[in-house]
A and B are shown apart, each in its own frame.
Chain A
């Protein structure tokens, strides 16, 4: 099943600097490379 990016893009995310944003904002201006990391430590 394909990912529903419309739905995912509406998710509000929290950034390292405590600001919040909808995920879709990151690809609005151009391509986004979204890198998921493993755990810290």
Chain B
């Protein structure tokens, strides 16, 4: 996402990340990964629940795909620390327009189920062109 910041900026969109950590953990995450977006700390999962994001099954957390992903992540130098937050909580993405309407929603079905940034940019481009684009 951060590599696409300029593209989001050009479309007039604001990107905000919501994490499960405390304020201090969220600030540390933002600094460590040089996140160029605003971040919300939601350790009590109030927003996760309000947006009805799902919980992962134990099977999907221990799937071969997730294990491979973890190993690759470690190979890139990321350490596996104690997870902060609910490990079963699944992610999601929403695009909300200036009138407060949801234009795109993605409730992840598995831990690695993310829409590509380009798909989000396409939604914003269509919205900028107006109806019928």
Contacts and interface: CB of A to CB of B under 8 A. Distances in A.
B91 A8 contact: no
B47 A23 contact: yes
23 contacts: A5-B96, A5-B100, A5-B101, A8-B47, A11-B46, A11-B50, A27-B100, A28-B98, A31-B103, A31-B124, A32-B13, A33-B15, A34-B96, A35-B93, A36-B92, A37-B19, A38-B89, A39-B84, A40-B19, A40-B25, A41-B80, A41-B81, A41-B84
Contacts of B48: 36
Contacts of A29: 14, 98
Interface in B19-45: 19-21, 23, 25-27, 29-30, 37-42
Interface of A: 3, 5-9, 11, 13-18, 23-24, 26-41
B51 A16 contact: no
Contacts of A40: 19-21, 25-26, 29, 83-85
B96 A35 contact: no
Contact of B14 (A11, A31, A39): A31
B50 A8 contact: yes
A23 to B, nearest CB: 7
A24 to B, nearest CB: 7
A38 B53 CA distance: 11
